[in-house]
């Protein structure tokens, strides 16, 4: 198998670190550059200590653009566009951006949610990786949206681990704040709502229900739990059948007959859904790892699709449930 020469830009952060862990063992990938201006000259294990003995790569602020088949951008929101302006990548180089800069599908980027846009991703050289909450909410609701079941407002709550806020410290990511604590933020105005609504317009013939989303900061490091519910006049068995059919070819989205929990998905690229029906409402729970299916794992899934590989390649990971 010919290896795909790959660089990670912003490789010192959480999503960059997760990409390194996935790609150094990916059978089709040759990781040739870890780009980071702040960590230039450091060995990989000096920044990501869990990779001691796994790789001898050194961080660099140079990008060998003429050698690259693929580039992952793990930069802060707002910096990816500037980076691409400063570096002239070959039109044949696959670019996968993990920020929100191109999730509106500007500048030729395709929105990289495989369960909706798999065929577009396969044909694209520019892929905008979805946000973590956006991934969970869209996977929870996509089959219902496609069936036009949601006629009015859909109510969504979600809780995320502290890694969702990135590696930089702030008052609400500090251990003293998060430990033993839960707090709410960005009620009804979370930034991921824009990309969710665009996908729903795509799935439901130019119409989209109002989404009232209440996000919480959790007192744990990684994982997302989303619960969405809406009025539903059908039966639970009908809904489950539609969801199974919608995700029958999905590599990582699964329907569980049992109640779900976060440990099922931590350290995996899976999203697990569970459906309930109560008080005339269809309730959908979704759990995923915000750093994997919500970020770096999904980015590798998109990498696989863009290069014509099995989308599960390098991502057959098992959770740690104990």
Residues with active-site annotation: 132
Tokens standing for 231? 């009025």
Q: Give every strand in the sheet of 154-160, ordered side by side.
A: 183-184, 211-217, 154-160, 224-231, 281-288, 271-278, 253-255
φ, ψ for residue 306 (rounded to 5)? -65, -30
CA 132 to chain centre: 5
Contacts from 81-86 at CB under 8 Å and sequence distance 24+? 81/107, 83/9
308 vs 211: CA distance, rounded Å: 35
51 vs 55: CA distance, rounded Å: 7
**DSSP summary character for residue 286:** E
């Amino acid at each position: 198998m010919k290896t795909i020469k790959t660089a990670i830009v912003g490789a010192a952060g959480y999503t960059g670190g997760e990409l390194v862990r996935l790609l150094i063992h990916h059978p089709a990938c040759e990781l040739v550059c870890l780009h980071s201006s702040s960590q230039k000259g450091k060995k990989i294990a000096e920044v990501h200590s869990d990779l001691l003995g796994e790789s001898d790569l050194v961080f660099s602020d140079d990008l060998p653009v003429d050698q690259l088949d693929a580039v992952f951008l793990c930069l802060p929101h707002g910096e990816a566009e500037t980076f691409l302006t400063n570096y002239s990548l070959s039109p044949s180089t696959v670019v996968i951006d993990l920020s929100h800069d191109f999730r509106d599908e500007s500048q030729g980027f395709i929105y990289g949610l495989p369960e909706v846009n798999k065929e577009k991703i396969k044909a694209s050289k520019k892929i905008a990786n979805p946000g973590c909450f956006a991934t969970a909410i869209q996977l929870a609701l996509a089959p219902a949206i496609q069936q036009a079941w949601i006629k009015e407002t859909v109510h969504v709550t979600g809780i995320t681990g502290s890694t969702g806020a990135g590696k930089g410290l702030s008052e609400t990511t500090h251990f003293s704040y998060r430990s033993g604590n839960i707090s709410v933020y960005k009620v009804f105005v979370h930034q991921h709502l824009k990309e969710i609504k665009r996908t729903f317009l795509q799935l439901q013939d130019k119409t989209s229900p109002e989404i009232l989303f209440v996000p919480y900061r959790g007192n744990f490091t990684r994982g997302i739990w989303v619960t969405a519910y809406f009025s539903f006049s059908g039966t639970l068995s009908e809904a489950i059948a539609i969801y199974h059919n919608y995700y029958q070819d999905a590599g990582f989205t699964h329907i569980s007959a049992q109640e779900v929990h976060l440990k099922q998905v931590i350290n995996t690229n899976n999203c697990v859904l569970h459906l309930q029906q109560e008080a005339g409402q269809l309730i959908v729970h979704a759990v995923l790892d915000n750093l994997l299916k919500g970020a770096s794992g999904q980015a590798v899934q998109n990498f696989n699709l863009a290069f014509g590989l099995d989308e599960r390649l390098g991502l057959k990971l098992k959770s740690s449930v104990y």
